[in-house]
Amino acid sequence: MRKIELEITGLSHTITQSQSYAVLLAEVGGLRKLPIVIGAFEAQAIAVAIEKLNINRPLSHDLIKNILGAFEIQLKEVIIDNLQDGIFFAKLICEKDGQEIDIDSRTSDALALAVRFECPIYTYEFILESAGTILTDESKDDDDDEASDLDELAEELSAVASKDELSQVSTEDLKAKLEEALASEDYEKAARIRDEIERREA
């Protein structure tokens, strides 16, 4: 079957399921979009990779990438290869020493890894026909909202990472950082540092 390349164009909150997101995949060179519902953790994993945020400790998908790298296994591509009862199935197409290896994967995990390896994402025509939507002028207006959700996820994860880093800094250094943040008028950072100091003094 002919493979159709997709690219991630955004993440948006789902209305029907709380704590869930839809990752939107667009047909490269086409008008169709493929929305796939994923969990909040996987959405954050995709967002942090797209936004190239520096996280203090590796997330699970970063760990998988590091393990594959340590064993000289390269992720060549991701294929969303089936759709059954509303559930998408995916494969990781890996390569080691010239040999191709197919690994079954949840689609959300496959997408989070594809972003990290910067490898192409593919699907088949029958999946786009079954679950794809046509990009119209109205749906184009939603792109700003999708980008906003992506930024929101990235900022949320960045704040968590920043809090984790602050917990490893001495109180004396925290107070110095607080003065620096106030001097540079970075009040959001100053508030996080202040909260950490108050937590320790409580």
Contact 4, 129 (CB under 8 A): no
Q: Which option is the CATH number for 3-143: 1.20.1440.230, 3.10.690.10, 3.40.50.300, 3.40.630.30?
A: 3.10.690.10
Q: Give how far the C-alpha of residue 138 lies from the chain's centroid of Cα atoms, to the nearest Å.
A: 25
Amino acid 153: pLDDT: 52
Q: Which residue has the tokens 């004396």?
A: 172
Amino acid 161: pLDDT: 45
Sequence ranges of the domains in the chain: 3-143, 169-201
% of the chain at pLDDT higher than 70: 79
Amino acid 155: pLDDT: 54
Amino acid 165: pLDDT: 56
Distances (CA, A) of 128 to 38, 67, 115, 122, 125: 18, 33, 21, 11, 5
Among candidate residues 48, 22, 41, the one with its CA nearest the CA of residue 33 = 22
Q: What is the token pair recorded at 128? A: 């786009």
pLDDT digits (tens, 9 = 90+) for 82-120: 999 889 999 999 999 999 999 999 999 999 999 999 999
Contact 8, 49 (CB under 8 A): no
- Whether the full predicted model's pTM is greater than 0.75, yes or no, is no
